[in-house]
């Protein structure tokens, strides 16, 4: 029997796929014909072309598989992608898990996000039991991941042997899309004029991929596991980046209302900026929070062990240099 990976051509999905191949799994991937395959070229995987929004192609890919890693998803903070996120993140998850249920898989791992977990007041880290407040934020990406996780939990109730993992912000080598690792690249290019209040949690893509395999091996069905690393303010992150790269950090603190006004005007007049760079309204809305999380459950039950943040930043910067981004 084979292991199916959705989202295998994505940044995190390609790391998961590589780890599965290294483990010796017979791996099948579902991908679109237009997908960028640079991160999986050379890997011994079977390719089935289709899309998570097309349940017929999902069923075809699932046929003969007894294990599933559903890592496909759309991360965006742009208003133009709102409808697409609903289609991919919510309806796509329903399609994939429906096909998995029909196929009788023995274990499924769903890649959710810490975005689907509620935040605690101030800087107190949230955990898997922190309730999500649907009225706390109107950021569409966060809402779509929460709705997708509800879909996943409904399938658990139906009997699907599913484990949910909730990664924090994933960075690392191999981010050919300059997605979530973009903050490291734009820092190195000196395109970040200043910092705002708020905090984040960054984790290495390879560690998260390993965490997925651990979730399949050791995770309890119906449980959620936060795959995160170090909680850090934006100011502290810039201090770490300065230490690792030698590039002076921006010392200007930008008030929230100015950052919001700038993002609003940028969207209004159609200024294009790379995704994951805080020049859109939804990114600014999220920046005022402290996205702090407690990974102790994953550490204790799965053996999850993320590497130091400094090591991840160093390897990310080196990858960008080696591949011509810097």
Domains of the chain listed by start with CATH number = 2-172+202-230+292-307 (3.40.50.720)
State the residue for tokens 């002076």. Answer: 248
Beta bridge partners of 225: 165
Residue 7: which of 76, 77, 68, 87 has the closest Cα? 68
- Catalytic residue set: 141
State residue 275's pLDDT score: 44
Dihedral of CA atoms 286, 93, 231, 292 in degrees, nearest 10, equals 60
pTM: 0.93
DSSP sequence for 103-145: HT-SEEEEE--GGGSPPPSTTPPB-TTSPP-TTS---HHHHHH
pLDDT tens digits in sequence order for the chain, 326 residues long: 999 999 999 999 999 999 999 999 999 999 999 999 999 999 999 999 999 999 999 999 999 999 999 999 998 888 889 999 999 999 999 999 999 999 999 999 999 999 999 899 889 999 999 999 877 778 899 999 999 999 999 999 999 999 999 999 999 999 999 989 999 999 999 988 888 889 999 999 999 999 999 999 999 999 999 999 999 999 999 999 999 999 999 998 887 667 657 665 666 665 555 444 455 666 676 677 899 999 999 999 999 999 999 999 999 999 999 999 99
Q: What angle do CA 145, 147, 149 make, to 5 degrees?
A: 70
**Contact indicator for 287, 253 with CB cutoff of 8 Å:** no
CB count, 10 Å around CB of 223?
17
User: Token pair for residue 116?
Assistant: 């689907």
């Amino acid at each position: 029997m084979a292991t199916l990976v959705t989202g295998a051509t994505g940044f995190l999905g390609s790391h998961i796929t590589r780890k599965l191949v290294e483990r010796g799994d017979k791996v099948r991937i579902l991908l679109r014909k237009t997908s960028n395959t640079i991160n999986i070229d050379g890997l011994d995987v079977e390719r089935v072309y289709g899309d998570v929004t097309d349940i017929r192609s999902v069923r075809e890919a699932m046929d003969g598989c007894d294990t599933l890693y559903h890592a496909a998803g759309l991360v965006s903070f742009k208003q133009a992608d709102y409808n697409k996120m609903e289609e991919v993140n919510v309806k796509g998850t329903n399609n994939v898990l429906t096909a998995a249920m029909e196929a009788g898989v023995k274990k499924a791992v769903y890649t959710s996000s810490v975005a689907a977990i509620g935040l605690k007041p101030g800087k107190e880290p949230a955990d898997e039991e922190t309730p999500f407040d649907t009225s706390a934020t109107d950021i569409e990406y966060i809402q779509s991941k929460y709705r997708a996780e509800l879909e996943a939990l409904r399938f658990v109730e139906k009997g699907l042997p599913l484990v949910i993992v909730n990664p924090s912000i994933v960075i690392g080598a191999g981010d050919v899309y300059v997605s979530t690792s973009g903050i490291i690249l734009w820092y190195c290019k000196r395109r970040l004029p200043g910092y705002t209040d708020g905090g984040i949690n960054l984790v290495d893509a390879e560690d998260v991929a390993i965490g997925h395999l651990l979730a399949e091996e050791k995770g309890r069905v119906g449980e959620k596991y936060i795959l995160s690393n170090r909680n850090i303010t934006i100011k502290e992150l810039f201090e770490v980046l300065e230490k690792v790269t030698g590039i002076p950090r921006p010392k200007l603190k930008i008030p929230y209302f100015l950052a919001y006004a700038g993002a609003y005007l940028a969207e209004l007049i159609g200024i294009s900026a790379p995704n994951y760079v805080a020049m859109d309204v939804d990114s600014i809305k999220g920046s005022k929070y402290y996205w702090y999380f407690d990974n102790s459950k994953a550490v204790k039950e799965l053996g999850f062990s993320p590497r130091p943040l400094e090591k991840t930043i160093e390897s990310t910067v080196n990858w960008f240099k080696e591949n011509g981004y810097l």
